[in-house]
Structure 1
Amino acid sequence: MQFAQIPMQWVGPLLLRGDIEDRVEAPMATYETPLWPSVNRGARVTEKAGGIRITLIDARMSRSITLQAVNAHEAHQAAQAILEQQDRLQAVVSQSSRFARLIEIHPKIIGNLLILRLEFTTGDASGHNMVTHAADQLIPWLLQHHPQLRYVSISGNFCTDKKVSAVNALHGRGKNVVAETWLPEKLVRRYLKTTPEKLVELHIKKNLLGSIAAGSLMSANAHAANMLLAFYLATGQDAANIVEGSQCIDHAEVHDNGDLYFSTTLPNLIVGTVGNGKGLDFVQENLARMGCTDPDALPGENARRLAGICAATVLCGELSLLAAQTNPGELMAAHLKLERKGS
């Protein structure tokens, strides 16, 4: 097996509060070398201000299956019956995995098609394969107990995997995490070279209005995908999941005392600490260094910790880039200095 060579550096330390109380560094693998000092700048100012508060809202992985009835009436009747059978469906799911647990079903009827969005908790795995395996076990059971239905697809795109969608932003897919920080004005001026007022104004005109003008779907951020991809590659994640992962929303406001409040909300943060990609030596070393391989942790705790660290990394990068863009020429000057040393 051959490996692609991607430069990696550790950023931070990140001072974390709330659902995670720790001071950790995070690995980032990227060709965009200005990303490391930019995230480091965000980490430095947030640490000086008392850290980044992490709140883990939810955790789930989804797989949608598509079945077909003769008409919409029969599809609707089947959907209503299936919703009442969740306990029986969980008994089937438990045969496929000791970690998968069916927690919610969202039916969608289109003509005579019945699409079922099945949502599971998946322990420390990101859960792609786990929920697909569970769905594979559920389909024969559903067809046996609802003979008016027939199989169409194991994936009905209502999941929604590796695609931007409103349903993921509404219901969440992966970890739903909020990272937030409170920065005194003097620290914003000293470390970010801007003011809280300028940063909030840019956030409104760029992240919010610019995203509306672009037709962005439930997303308002500066470049979250940059930090996500770098973090995903360094920790053995499925990198294509940055598509839905970057559907995140920044929020900023100036308090009455002049301080800055800044947050990043990521409802679709798909990360895990076990499963495909996690067996590589460098991945295991990185996860262990972040404290995400604790053998005594309860199922899901290591993955939730990893998600919190990832969210903090994204916040630092968002904060630093927005600050840079309040100053004409700063962004390009940094790229020229850090990426074109030999030209």
Structure 2
Amino acid sequence: MEPTTPPTRIPVPRDREDDYSNAAAAARRAFVTEHTGAKLDHVGSYSIDPATLPGNVEHFVGVAQVPIGLAGPLLVNGEHAQGEFYVPLATAEGTLVASYNRGMRLLHEAGGVTTTIMADHMQRAPSFIFPSARESRAFGEWLDENFDAIKAAAEETTSTGKLQEIERYSAGRILYTRFNYTTGDAAGQNLTGKATQAACRWIRANNDTIEHHFLESNFATDKKSSTINMLRTRGKRVVAEATIPNEILQRVMRSDSALMFRARQVSNLGGFMSGVNNNGAHSANGITAMFIATGQDAANVAESSAAYVYAELRDNGDYYFSITIPSLIVATYGGGTGLGTQRECLEMMDCYGTGKVGKLAEIVAATVLCGELSLGSAIVAEEWVDAHDAHGRNRP
């Protein structure tokens, strides 16, 4: 068979003088219409200033408009988030906002959601290769002896990042490490990358036993859920919990605590059998909707939606329910949080800017808890399908 000549590549047009302008965006939309026939009337309707977008997007053509619904009030008894909040949820899935809103009503009547941040780590995970396992073991001890100097080298690159510890995991002649940082109000993936690069340069300059190193060994499992991050934390480890009297469950949810607990036992077994990383119902729904609304990195839902649900049926019929989110990656500064609509959504929860990331993490976790109880109740009360038929995409 004769080799075929590949088609001529026609790149997306760029304006090398001013690529972040309305004119450059309009030229790219015209390019799309010329080459695909698609009209971009809605994509090209936006209030955002393209000049603010360097660092957020390339080849800007317009915006994806996602409807934002409002749920609340959400009552939170947190260490950072205290009081009532109205929560923006960006979604095109019918019934999602209504379901979270219903859960918020339930837990408001029950006295609110208690939230606690248990740990805070963002990491980069370099690996170091040695002639043999013995040098690898010795290097682990050397890291302990030189931690203060390594920490100083890393922190020279950042005003907010702080190196907390270096985890070590050996395999053959390779030592895998996890450099754990706190990162202030930023999510911190870029911060930790730059800081760890500086630390590795100091290490290589002061240790001649290393054959080679890689700045990231896939042990941070960035943008992927993993057992190690569920156990050791990536981002914020947040617990949201509440105790709901059976009377309120019956009145608000047309459900019952005993039946809810039985369904929870069945769900735990089903999750175990299927090998899921989350024995809850749908934490990704609320987290994704909040991430899109508030300018978070949506790909971090892969890690952030992992969760542990724990429930108890109390002797008096009350229902204790908690969700632990071990790898919640959120920011209130940097990234997409400063863009127009995203900043507004953060501001409506008083979560924009410095000193607010703990508050946002607690609000996200509390919202997830409300959604878990709402969907769980709908399944028990056999209202789930009917709700989607009446209000969701299944409607006639």
Residues 235, 251 of structure 1: CA spacing in aligned structure 2 closer, same or farther, 3 A cutoff?
A: same
TM-score by length of 2: 0.82
Q: Quick one: which amino acid aligns to residue 217 of structure 2? A: G
Unaligned runs of 5+ in 2: 1-59
Q: Quick one: which amino acid aligns to residue 230 of structure 2? A: A
Indicate if the aligned counterparts of 1:178 and 1:265 stay in contact, CA closer than 8 A: yes
The residue number in structure 2 matching 1:139 is: 200
1:225 aligns with 2:278: no
Q: How far does the alpha carbon of each residue in 1:164-211 deviate from its partner, in whole angstroms, 9 at most, with x for none?
A: 2111111111111111111111110011110011111111111x1011
The residue number in structure 2 matching 1:283 is: 342
Give 3-state SS (helix, strand or coil) of 1:14's partner. Answer: strand
Q: CA deviation at 1:294?
A: 5.7
Q: CA deviation at 1:267?
A: 1.0
d(CA) in 1 for partners of 2:367, 2:220: 26
Q: How far does the alpha carbon of each residue in 1:74-111 deviate from its partner, in whole angstroms, 9 at most, with x for none?
A: 11111111122221111111210011111011111111
Q: How does 1:15-94 map to 2 (within 5 A)?
A: 15-19=75-79, 20-94=81-155
Q: How does 1:328-339 map to 2 (within 5 A)?
A: 328=382, 330-339=383-392
d(CA) in 1 for partners of 2:276, 2:146: 37
Say what the alpha-carbon RMSD is for the aligned residues: 1.4
d(CA) in 2 for partners of 1:243, 1:113: 27
d(CA) in 2 for partners of 1:216, 1:231: 23
Q: CA deviation at 1:252?
A: 1.4
TM-score by length of 1: 0.94
Q: Quick one: which amino acid aligns to residue 243 of structure 1? A: A
Indicate if the aligned counterparts of 2:235 and 2:327 stay in contact, CA closer than 8 A: yes
Give 3-state SS (helix, strand or coil) of 2:301's partner. Answer: helix
d(CA) in 2 for partners of 1:294, 1:109: 39
Unaligned runs of 5+ in 1: 296-300
Q: How does 1:157-196 map to 2 (within 5 A)?
A: 157-196=218-257
Q: Quick one: which amino acid aligns to residue 46 of structure 1? A: L
Give 3-state SS (helix, strand or coil) of 2:201's partner. Answer: helix
Residues 43, 342 of structure 1: CA spacing in aligned structure 2 closer, same or farther, 3 A cutoff?
A: closer
1:313 aligns with 2:313: no
The residue number in structure 1 matching 2:258 is: 197
Indicate if the aligned counterparts of 1:143 and 1:150 stay in contact, CA closer than 8 A: no
Q: How far does the alpha carbon of each residue in 1:132-161 deviate from its partner, in whole angstroms, 9 at most, with x for none?
A: 111111111111111111444221111121
- Who wins on radius of gyration, i.e. which is larger? 2
d(CA) in 2 for partners of 1:262, 1:13: 20
1:9 aligns with 2:69: yes
Q: Name the structure, 1 or 2, with higher relative contact order (CA <8 Å, separation 6+).
A: 1
Q: CA deviation at 1:70?
A: 1.0
Q: Quick one: which amino acid aligns to residue 156 of structure 1? A: S
Give 3-state SS (helix, strand or coil) of 2:125's partner. Answer: strand
Indicate if the aligned counterparts of 1:162 and 1:243 stay in contact, CA closer than 8 A: yes
Q: Quick one: which amino acid aligns to residue 312 of structure 1? A: A
Give the share of equivalent positions with the same residue, in percent. 36
d(CA) in 2 for partners of 1:184, 1:155: 48
The residue number in structure 2 matching 1:242 is: 301
Indicate if the aligned counterparts of 1:236 and 1:283 stay in contact, CA closer than 8 A: yes
Indicate if the aligned counterparts of 1:63 and 1:160 stay in contact, CA closer than 8 A: no
Greater shift in the superposed pair: 136-145 or 305-314: 136-145
Which of 183, 191, 197 does residue 130 from structure 1 map onto?
Answer: 191
Number of corresponding residues: 335
Give 3-state SS (helix, strand or coil) of 2:126's partner. Answer: strand
